[in-house]
Amino acid sequence: MGSNGMLARRIVETEMPIMVQIQQLIRGAKNAVSLAQGVVYWKPPKQALDKVKALVEEPSVSCYGADEGLPELREALIRKLRQENNLQRSSVMVTAGANQAFVNLVLTLCDAGDSVVMFAPYYFNAYMSFQMTGVTKILVGPGYPKTLYPDADWLERTLLETKPVPKLVTVVNPGNPSGTYIPEPLLKRISDICKNAGCWLVVDNTYEYFMYDGLKHSCVEGDHIVNIFSFSKAYGMMGWRVGYVSDFVWFVKFVLSCICYILHSLPSNICIHPSKRV
Ligand SMILES: Cc1ncc(COP(=O)(O)O)c(C=O)c1O
């Protein structure tokens, strides 16, 4: 049983997370700081920490929750999407973090053997999500050298020339590890290129609040687009494992079929309890 031969090839061939590699590298080293993982210094909102002590005793928070997320939490998130992200038609499904949202989307949108597109420097977990689900034709596009924005000319050419057309394009906005945001006109152009080619665009907005110098983060909406969000960095709630997917309403039921009952964590049940909002 100790041999890799007993494991699924998909998993053996999935790269080890860079965070684990760095932890191994710096083990025992004095004063070494890992820059491999983004951990914010702010804590969850005080109201959340205060309320959680009382809520944890409630039997209902230890029960299975609604698959798509507690209705009251979803309503609050939809309000947020309308007001802050200008996503006027999208619905919401709560997930156990943005990472699980991404894996569920890959399971829902891609078959093993499909090709997909991402841009360097890419978020390692997204790359691994493809590998571990058998999506091994991962085309990695360049960023513009000065800005590290995804190179839209390369994308246009690649989607025209690659047959069959890649199934999914993913971008992170603002990027990890680049830190660079995607200006709205470029995001719209990327969206149009994907729509014309007939492929999905998945935008990971985990760092939506990491905007500086008066710049404003923006989202795009369309029936070929899925947006991902996370509580982790936005509210300092990394360990709570809460994220959400936003998309057109019809799409939700397909994602649901992938995640029925494997997504909910105690924190997401507590997060906005129907009777007592955190
Ligand atoms: C781009 C990106 N997406 C998603 C995540 C993970 O988010 P979550 O904690 O909600 O799974 C991270 C965490 O570092 C990230 O950098």
Whether residue 99 has its Cβ less than 6 Å from ligand 1: yes
Question: Does residue 39 lie within any of the structural domains?
Answer: no
Question: Does residue 189 lie within any of the structural domains?
Answer: yes
Is pLDDT at 27 greater than 90 in this prediction? no
Whether residue 206 has its Cβ less than 6 Å from ligand 1: yes
Question: Does residue 19 lie within any of the structural domains?
Answer: no
Strands 168-172 and 200-204: parallel
Pick the residue whose CA is nearest to atom 2 on ligand 1. 206
Whether residue 38 has its Cβ less than 6 Å from ligand 1: yes
Which of the four pLDDT bands, split at 50, 70 and 90, describes residue 256? low
Question: Does residue 246 lie within any of the structural domains?
Answer: yes
CA-CA distance, 74 to 243, in Å (whole number)? Answer: 11
Which of the four pLDDT bands, split at 50, 70 and 90, describes residue 195? very high
Separation of 128 CA from ligand 1 center, angstroms?
13
Whether residue 230 has its Cβ less than 6 Å from ligand 1: yes
Question: Does residue 202 lie within any of the structural domains?
Answer: yes
Mean pLDDT (whole number) for 115-141: 95
Question: Does residue 25 lie within any of the structural domains?
Answer: no
Q: Residue 174 sits in which domain range?
A: 65-261
CA-CA distance, 197 to 207, in Å (whole number)? Answer: 27
Q: Which of 192, 113, 110 is nearest to 156 (CA)?
A: 192
Q: What is the pLDDT of residue 218?
A: 97
Q: What is the pLDDT of residue 225?
A: 95
Separation of 125 CA from ligand 1 center, angstroms?
8
Q: What is the pLDDT of residue 277?
A: 45
Question: Does residue 256 lie within any of the structural domains?
Answer: yes
Question: Does residue 85 lie within any of the structural domains?
Answer: yes
Is pLDDT at 237 greater than 60 in this prediction? yes
Which of the four pLDDT bands, split at 50, 70 and 90, describes residue 38? confident
Mean pLDDT (whole number) for 155-182: 96
Is pLDDT at 15 greater than 90 in this prediction? no
Separation of 137 CA from ligand 1 center, angstroms?
22
Separation of 5 CA from ligand 1 center, angstroms?
31
Convert the pLDDT of each residue in 201-213 to its tens digit.
999 999 999 999 9
Whether residue 104 has its Cβ less than 6 Å from ligand 1: no
pLDDT averaged over every residue in the chain? 87
Contact call for residues 35 and 18 (beta carbons, < 8 A): no
Share of the chain above pLDDT 70, in %: 88
Number of domains in the chain: 1
Whether residue 44 has its Cβ less than 6 Å from ligand 1: no
Convert the pLDDT of each residue in 54-108 to its tens digit.
888 888 888 877 878 888 889 999 999 999 999 999 889 888 899 989 998 999 8
**Which CATH number goes with the domain that contains 106?**
3.40.640.10
Q: Who wins on pLDDT, 74 or 116?
A: 116
